[in-house]
Amino acid sequence: MEDGTVTIGSAPTLQEWLDHWLYTIKQGSLKDSTLEGYEAKIAWLKDTRLARTKLNKLKPEHIETFYARKRAEGKAVASVLQLHRILNGAFKAAVKRGKLGSNPLLKVDAPSGRSDEAFEPPAFTPEDARKIIAHAETLPPSEATRWMMALTYGPRQGEVLGLGWDAVDLDNGQIDLRRTIYPKKWRHGCDDITHCPAKRPHLCPSRYGGGLFFGTPKSLAGRRSLPVPEQVLKHLKKLHAEHLALNEAEGKRRKPYTDANGVTVDLVFCQLNGRPHRPESDWKRWKALLEECGVDHVRLHDARHVSATMMLMLGVPRQVVGRISLVLNVGVVGSARPRCTSLGRFHEMASWGRSSLYSIR
């Protein structure tokens, strides 16, 4: 790849063809996050004998040996399978364009087997949720609202960090998850990266393409108006009042965030200057919150899998929980799952207190 343009000969190596296929043929149809995922898997081939092999000299045994090596290094079956699918797409394009006589993967079994890291629902208990919610009530409005939403709504991290005040209806208690915010990696802008003074792309003086960008939610169903639990709405109103006061106090130092595509949003959750929080700083704060509450570590994303349970346990009407769960694709899981019988509901209320902490406007 020279000057940002991928060039290939009549008999390209596997690496040359993958670069051409990814950046010239495929890139325009991929989301940025998907492109980065492809890059990460293709990077496994860097500086390997397989990458230097001419495309028309590839044999099924070459690829099977590489898969076996990756598994021996500890790569998960699912990850090797992702590489297999990427290679399959690249080989199909090579056959179509006359660069390859036949697809060698037609004779290679797709990686399979028992996953080494099978997903298990997070062991989040009602007591854990009670600790976090009680602690959140003592935090500043921005943090209280952030973690209340994580536990009772279950939106994805990008949907929360990309939420703007234009998508919040404080009068009617509704929010629209109409956008998300996501990071893009910086890329080297130098003609020859071997002579770049920076080894890492984000430090390159001619870097390009990186930063935080606004996009749309993962699913079309997620782009809908949802009711806000009363307790969350209370904190949202406090946070909005705080934002208005900060806007006046900070003046020009604080302004809505505009991404590289020119999309401007007055963010609900932001830094003092109005810029968005980076995902990694949000993760660190979540981890610190769990430690403050004495709760075992659970990934922030896993809060999605217990949000419906938490809403039921906190008294949100079942029909409302059902609507939110359907839209956001979250479920009732874990040991906190309420029973549907009236006796079960009685024990729920006895354990949490007779008064409901949450109601829906």
Closest of 184, 170, 15, 201 to residue 94, by C-alpha: 15
Question: How many domains does the chain contain in total?
Answer: 3
Q: What is the DSSP letter of 164?
A: B
One domain for residues 222 and 203: no
Query: Angle 160-149-128 (CA atoms, 0-180°, nearest 5)?
Result: 130
Cβ neighbours of residue 293 under 8 Å, at least 6 residues apart?
Answer: 128, 131, 132, 135
CB-CB contact of 361 with 233 (8 Å): yes
The H-or-E segment that residue 185 falls in is none
One domain for residues 186 and 175: no
**Strand stretches in 248-331, DSSP E:** 257-258, 264-265
Last residue of a domain, one of 107, 142, 169: 107
One domain for residues 133 and 50: no
Which value, in Å, is the radius of gyration of the alpha carbons in the chain? 25
The Cα 286–Cα 274 span in angstroms is 21
pLDDT at residue 354, rounded to an integer: 30
Minimum mean pLDDT range among 170-179, 192-201, 211-220, 306-315: 306-315
| pLDDT tens track for 22-47 | 989 998 888 877 888 999 999 999 99
One domain for residues 164 and 259: yes
One domain for residues 102 and 148: no
The Cα 3–Cα 29 span in angstroms is 22
Sign of the C-alpha dihedral, residues 77, 81, 82, 84?
positive
Q: Provide the residue range defining the domain that includes 196.
A: 182-215
pLDDT at residue 243, rounded to an integer: 96
- Indicate if the pLDDT at residue 358 is higher than 60: no
AA letter at 300: L
Higher pLDDT, 316 or 34: 34
Angle between helices 230-250 and 141-152 (to 10 degrees): 150
pLDDT at residue 54, rounded to an integer: 94
Percentage of the residues of the chain whose pLDDT score is greater than 90: 47
One domain for residues 134 and 257: yes
For 317-358, the three-class secondary structure string (H helix, E strand, C coil) is: CHHHHHHHHHHHCCCCCCCCCCCCCHHHHHHHHHHHCCCCCC
Task: Count other C-beta atoms under 10 Å from residue 158's C-beta.
Answer: 22
Minimum mean pLDDT range among 174-183, 219-228, 329-338: 329-338
Q: How confident is the model at residue 140 (pLDDT cuts 50, 70, 90)?
A: very high
Query: Could you give the count of Cα atoms lying within 13 Å of 211 in the half-sphere of its Cβ?
Result: 15
The Cα 245–Cα 142 span in angstroms is 14
One domain for residues 199 and 342: no
Is 214 buried (19+), middle (13-18) or exposed (0-12) by CB count in 10 A?
buried
The two structure tokens encoding residue 352: 């949490």
Minimum mean pLDDT range among 50-54, 199-203, 255-259, 292-296: 199-203
CB-CB contact of 143 with 247 (8 Å): no
One domain for residues 147 and 58: no
| Residue 265 Cα distances to 69, 159, 180, angstroms | 47, 13, 11
| Residue 214 Cα distances to 179, 180, 183, angstroms | 7, 6, 9
pLDDT at residue 304, rounded to an integer: 65
- Indicate if the pLDDT at residue 167 is higher than 80: yes
One domain for residues 211 and 279: no
Is 186 buried (19+), middle (13-18) or exposed (0-12) by CB count in 10 A?
middle
- Indicate if the pLDDT at residue 277 is higher than 70: yes
Q: What is the mean pLDDT of residues 233-246?
A: 95
Closest of 314, 312, 284, 313 to residue 300, by C-alpha: 284
Closest of 184, 182, 185 to residue 217, by C-alpha: 182
pLDDT at residue 227, rounded to an integer: 81
- Indicate if the pLDDT at residue 353 is higher than 90: no
Could you tell me how far CA 310 lies from the centroid of its own chain? 22
Percentage of the residues of the chain whose pLDDT score is greater than 70: 75
One domain for residues 32 and 149: no
Last residue of a domain, one of 215, 231, 265: 215
One domain for residues 156 and 98: no
The two structure tokens encoding residue 214: 């606004």
- Indicate if the pLDDT at residue 355 is higher than 50: no
Q: What is the mean pLDDT of residues 263-286?
A: 95
- The answer to whether position 64 is within a domain reads yes
Q: How confident is the model at residue 115 (pLDDT cuts 50, 70, 90)?
A: low
AA letter at 342: S
One domain for residues 70 and 165: no
